[in-house]
Chains A and B, each alone.
Chain A
Amino acid sequence: MLKTYTYPKYEYQQPQEQKERSAARYPVVIVGAGPVGMAAAIDCRLQGIPVVLLDEDDTVSIGSRGVCYAKRALEILDRLGVGDRVVEKGVSWNVGRTFFREEEVFNFNLLPEPDHKRPGMINLQQYYLEQYLVERCVELGVDMRWKNRVVSVQRMSDGVRLTIETPDGTYGIEADWLIAADGARSPIRKQMNLEVDGKVFMDRFLIADVVMKADFPAERWFWFDPPFHPNQSVLLHRQADSVWRIDFQLGWDADPEEEKKPANVIPRIKAMLGDEREFELEWVSVYTFQCRRMQEFRHGRVLFVGDAAHQVSPFGARGANSGIQDTDNLVWKLKLVLDGKAPERLLDTYSTERVAAADENLMNSTRSTDFITPKSNTSRMFRNAVLTLAEHHSFARALVNSGRLSVPAFLADSTLNTADADEFSGAMVPGAPMDDAPVGVDGKKAWLLDQTGNRFQLLYFTDVAERLGGKLDELRGLSMDPVPVEPVIVSEKAGAAAGVRVLHDLQHLVARRYDAREGSVYLLRPDQHVVARWRKFDAHKIRAAVARATCN
């Protein structure tokens, strides 16, 4: 039992099919009500897909797991309708400080640019995130089944058959598509004899959650070789409810059972705090970390997401953050395939795009872990040389790697993109996750990202919204297509156009961030990525780009 949080217990109900011994088939079944499975379930409901969500447990994440949720994950949570709750409860931060021995050698600001809705990061205990996601699932009518453990998966050409164990015995259901979100040990992956390749880091970390009153600022503090914990690293984060997360690197030889004992943990924390301030232990565990992924995330009708598909060390907070991005990428594609508007091949691009993103995450968290835990004397020597030079020289500060914090991948090599034919500068290339910016909607202040997502959209930049004439018909025509594209006008002047939404580019930041001029157009995917852009509107080119983006 925690001092600051009571784990909810969600009620098990015997499933209808089990009671009635009837057969049932669903378009989508999700296994695992962790953050990733629930994000997938909510997204399915937003797309109008009925969904069953199975979990072997009946509560949220226990103990010390995810803390940091990054800007992109928050933007997705906004789209899913839980962003505000998560951000209100969480601790927002942008600044990270890195110390070497006694000195601060480096600090970074995750959001050097103002005028984005969400901060670089928030810190929040994983159980709060999960609780809010459960409540949102219930609100949207997800068929949530607690104490339902999947014990076997049988693949069929057009779906899967699951055997499920409940307190009342076993029963079976069928699904057209199965989303496997059953975590790092994924029983489904094992059942299907699929490999997950990578490496284990030969190091152990003591992860303590501590309740204390402290007025340290809401920043990430990272120490290399501090006087209170020589030769190792320490990380401090503030979470909600005056709970602080402290990670102590212990080395490979540490005995996890011994280290977990309060009699050994408390002196470490006292040494770190350096005073007699009172604190209480909330939770303590010892972890080793791994970096690994499956070869492919799609296997016929089974789609792997989150930790089941890939696992990273937590330096960089790329675990849940990247899992939530998996579902962001997957669900709109699944919807088009279920509706017969795109071939199944589209789901292969879920795998290729998210494998590329996973590789970026694995690369960055491996590099951070290697910097934090040098594997040889030479590697340690270089690390310490970087930290020493960092005090005086900016080139060395840029090399200090205490975790490259989760940022979304640019899907610049995706086959779904239409390559630029016109000249643009800036970062909003085809494949880019969209940059946010303030906009006005009906005279009220709003955010670009809140105005996008869930469907294909076309941003049309113009300051003469009232005088578009025939072009307005062409724009509106796009929304009647089999894969509809909603036209949205972005204008530096407040204006109106019959039947088309107008976003007022109040501070000219949309145009600036997207390098847009009069007449520029951006085609956006339902997951808020740029997929094509032109200097001039051409309905034919837009339709070709939509076809390409949907494998049609």
Chain B
Amino acid sequence: MTDLLYTDVEESLRSSIRSTLQRSLDEGLPARLADEPETDVSGLWRTLTQQLGLAGLLVPESLGGAGASAREAAVVLEELGRAVAPTPFLTSAVIATTVLLVAGDEENLPALASGERTATLVLPWTARRGAWTPVHGSAEPVAGALGADLFLVPIPGEAGGTSLRAYGRDEVELEPITSLDMTRPLARVTLTGAGTEIVSGASADDAVDAALAAGAALLASEQLGLAQWCLETTVQYAGTRTQFARPIGSFQAIKHRLADLYLLLVGTQAAARQAAGTLADGGDAHELSIAQATAQAFCSDAAVHAAEEALQLHGGIGMTWEAPVHTRLKRAKADQLALGTPDRHRSDLAQLVHLPAS
């Protein structure tokens, strides 16, 4: 059975990231990005990379990375999710990095590992394993493209299969899209150059599928961290806000909603840990797929619910631009649609566990 707890190493990584984020991320930044999308946020990523080596977490030491596993990456995502930190960790250090690792491309990895460059997989952000098509000329909405230096694009190959190619910044055109979640802004990517082939055919498909699967598996941890922030913030608020001469948290209607939310997060945590743990263990592929689909089917909705509950239980203040709750709601809702909606992951599960629709 997969270890579903956290190791001491993971806990100390968590506290380093949390304290770095507390120092380096201005709490008002996530909301400000909606008004000022041009804000340069690269400094935060540089700090996380230089101080904690996050960019190369999943890259083997021989290629300049930390050689860590999906378990550690998951803990990073929990912390980034809590803070809705605008960083390319998921898109570059997890998804694009997995593409290159599985494709066996060693040329680009050192620059990604050092944080010198960031990359993204160019597919609609809703793509999931086994449910994407090669890009014909342009793709949207693509996450992690704005600010990236390297664009990994599966396109239709000459021989009919997929050709997975790398494009430089000067070989693509980027048009920003006003996004629901401006902390992970989307773009339309148009290919203007020829790029360089990395792999083709089945190897290309496998690399893309593996990256989307890893992304979906670890997105669950981002959703977990975000949801835990919502619960903790709301519990704290309910303990201090008074109405009718008592803290609102002493009203049972509120207690019971928060208890239910706690229960939901107990499940979210177990599902996210199982997805991360099985990915790190690299065992049975079928079990891995079940864990990923289960995590996405569950954690996506859980995070949205957590953010919605946080908003409601904060009352009017929860509705304001001033309070940080809305930044979590926007990220949670966008995450729910990203890398396959819960319903689509349930359809995948139906296949995986042999519960056919008809």
Partners in one complex: no
Give A contacts to B, CB under 8 Å.
none
